[in-house]
Chain A
Amino acid sequence: MASGTETTHDATADAAHGAADAGHAVAEHADGMPQLDFSTFGNQIFWLVLTLGIIYFVLAKIALPRIAAVLAERQGTITSDIAAAENLKQKAVEAEEAYNKALADARAKAGEIVAEAKAEIQAELAVAAAKADAEIAAKATESEAEIAKVRASAVESVKAVAKDTTKEILGAMGSKADAKAVTAAVNARMKG
């Protein structure tokens, strides 16, 4: 040992010692590498196997089945909830359809009523119109007859006046008028 001081620490002393008698790789002392202290291996392996055995037992018998059951149950609940929601949605759709159908029916009925009323009014209107036409026609024929009468009398008057006037004019002109000829002439004129 080159240092040779009393303060030399265990670790260095030990390492140097280990290095000195080469081939003795195992550090017997704690200050080497505790992982390579083979004297503790039996102890570690025993406790490790025990630990893993306990954990395996607890997990396989209690924890994992329980968590699996909880997850399955949750999955089931979610599935049934989704199914219920689907059901409700279906019902809502049906309700909407029914509502739409009722609305369409009501609309159709209203249309029918309107058409009926229209037809009725149309019919009444037609009757009234026919009656009015008939009345108007009757009035018109009556009026025409009157007018015809008036016209006939007017023509007669005109003829008379024309004959008289013609006689007067002829008289004034100094020639005796032949009554028959005048009448014929006036009649011919009136026709033309």
Chain B
Amino acid sequence: MAEEASAFNIHPMDQFVIKPLFGGHELNWYTPTNETLWMGIAILAIIGLLVLGTRGRAIIPSRTQSIAEMAYGFVYNMVVDVAGKDGLKYFPMIMTLFMFIVFSNFLGLLPMAFTPTSHIAVTAVMAMGVFLFVTILGFARNGMKFLSIFWISAAPLALRPILALIEIISYFVRPISHSIRLAGNMMAGHAVIKVFAGFAGALGLGAVAPILAISAVYALEMLVAFIQAYVFAILTCVYLKDALHPGH
């Protein structure tokens, strides 16, 4: 087994290693790392799209401005459709999450790039933030009525305690699934590409099949990069809706 590993030399997890950006081995909480670099690139890309792209404030938009407006309209409609009109107060928050995830995912697909969203720490902070925010908001807005999302009045009375238990468990699993879905998807895609790349490296010049496979997986990853950002944002909207209107 050890010989095989050294023959193939595939290290799909190497790409996720966090290294200090300017050399050295010390990693304090403030040390800029490769993750910091790619988060910064994501910030610059978002500013480039949403601030510089809309600099013209044109009635007839330029191409960049159209994309910025499309992103705005996409998230705006999502919030209105799922969370309702009162959800619009939290639209900047959801837009922040969506833009950060979508740009991290797509920038991470560049060769040699680093994907911050493939790290559990990153997605867990976002998911826990959403979870705590939504829970506090739910209690602040509805008081104890917020607990009615666990007590399903449509079900027969005998079933309600069991359903309440299930609902409570699923409520507390939310941040876990919310974060692991995103990180797992990103990690899985990148690891699979890396594994195929390892095959290609082992086969040398005749590696047609692994390269075709990499292309196919890469196309799938482009789709997944967007869908996961969409899913993260829309689930945030769904949780927000539960906090705003626990009745239904």
Within 8 Å by CB, do A and B touch in the complex? yes
Inter-chain contacts of B46 with A (CB < 8 A): 55, 58-59
Asked if A71 is an interface residue, CB under 8 A from chain B, the answer is yes
- Contact check, A35 vs B16: say whether CB atoms are below 8 A apart: yes
Asked if A131 is an interface residue, CB under 8 A from chain B, the answer is no
**Given A35-B183, A37-B18, are A56 and B118 neighbors across the interface (CB < 8 Å)?**
no
Inter-chain contacts of A60 with B (CB < 8 A): 92, 96
Within 8 A of B (CB), among A1-51: 1-3, 5, 7-9, 11-12, 30-37, 39-49, 51
Asked if A73 is an interface residue, CB under 8 A from chain B, the answer is yes
Inter-chain contacts of A52 with B (CB < 8 A): 96-97, 100, 126
Within 8 A of B (CB), among A105-164: none
Asked if B42 is an interface residue, CB under 8 A from chain A, the answer is yes
Asked if B173 is an interface residue, CB under 8 A from chain A, the answer is no
- Expressed in whole angstroms, the Cα–Cα distance for A41 and B43 within the complex equals 20
- Contact check, B51 vs A30: say whether CB atoms are below 8 A apart: no
Asked if A177 is an interface residue, CB under 8 A from chain B, the answer is no
Residue of A37, A55, A56, A74 with highest tally of chain B CB at under 10 A: A55
Smallest distance from the beta carbon of B92 to chain A beta carbons, Å?
4
Smallest distance from the beta carbon of A99 to chain B beta carbons, Å?
36
- Contact check, B13 vs A67: say whether CB atoms are below 8 A apart: no
Smallest distance from the beta carbon of A98 to chain B beta carbons, Å?
35
- Contact check, A43 vs B29: say whether CB atoms are below 8 A apart: yes
Asked if B200 is an interface residue, CB under 8 A from chain A, the answer is no
- Contact check, A30 vs B100: say whether CB atoms are below 8 A apart: no
- Expressed in whole angstroms, the Cα–Cα distance for A63 and B52 within the complex equals 9
Asked if A100 is an interface residue, CB under 8 A from chain B, the answer is no
- Stretch of B32-40, B154-162, B236-244 that contacts chain A: B32-40
Inter-chain contacts of B96 with A (CB < 8 A): 52, 55-56, 59-60
- Expressed in whole angstroms, the Cα–Cα distance for A77 and B59 within the complex equals 8
Closest to A8 in B: B2
- Contact check, B5 vs A9: say whether CB atoms are below 8 A apart: yes
Asked if B205 is an interface residue, CB under 8 A from chain A, the answer is no
Inter-chain contacts of A77 with B (CB < 8 A): 59
- Contact check, B31 vs A43: say whether CB atoms are below 8 A apart: yes
Residue from A43, A59, A66 within 8 A of B95 (CB atoms): A59
Inter-chain contacts of B3 with A (CB < 8 A): 3, 5, 7
- Expressed in whole angstroms, the Cα–Cα distance for A92 and B111 within the complex equals 62
- Contact check, B50 vs A67: say whether CB atoms are below 8 A apart: yes
- Expressed in whole angstroms, the Cα–Cα distance for A32 and B92 within the complex equals 37
Within 8 A of A (CB), among B164-186: 183
Asked if A64 is an interface residue, CB under 8 A from chain B, the answer is yes
Asked if B6 is an interface residue, CB under 8 A from chain A, the answer is yes
Inter-chain contacts of A43 with B (CB < 8 A): 18, 27-31, 33, 35
Additional 4 contacts, C-beta under 8 A, given A45-B125, A69-B57, A77-B59: A11-B11, A43-B31, A44-B119, A64-B92
**B residues bordering A, Cβ < 8 Å?**
1-3, 5-6, 9, 11, 13-14, 16-18, 27-33, 35-36, 39-40, 42-43, 46-47, 50-51, 54, 57-59, 61, 65, 68-69, 72-73, 91-93, 95-97, 99-100, 116, 118-122, 125-126, 183, 187
User: 9 A-B pairs, CB-CB below 8 angstroms?
Assistant: A30-B17, A43-B30, A43-B35, A44-B122, A47-B39, A55-B43, A60-B92, A66-B51, A70-B58
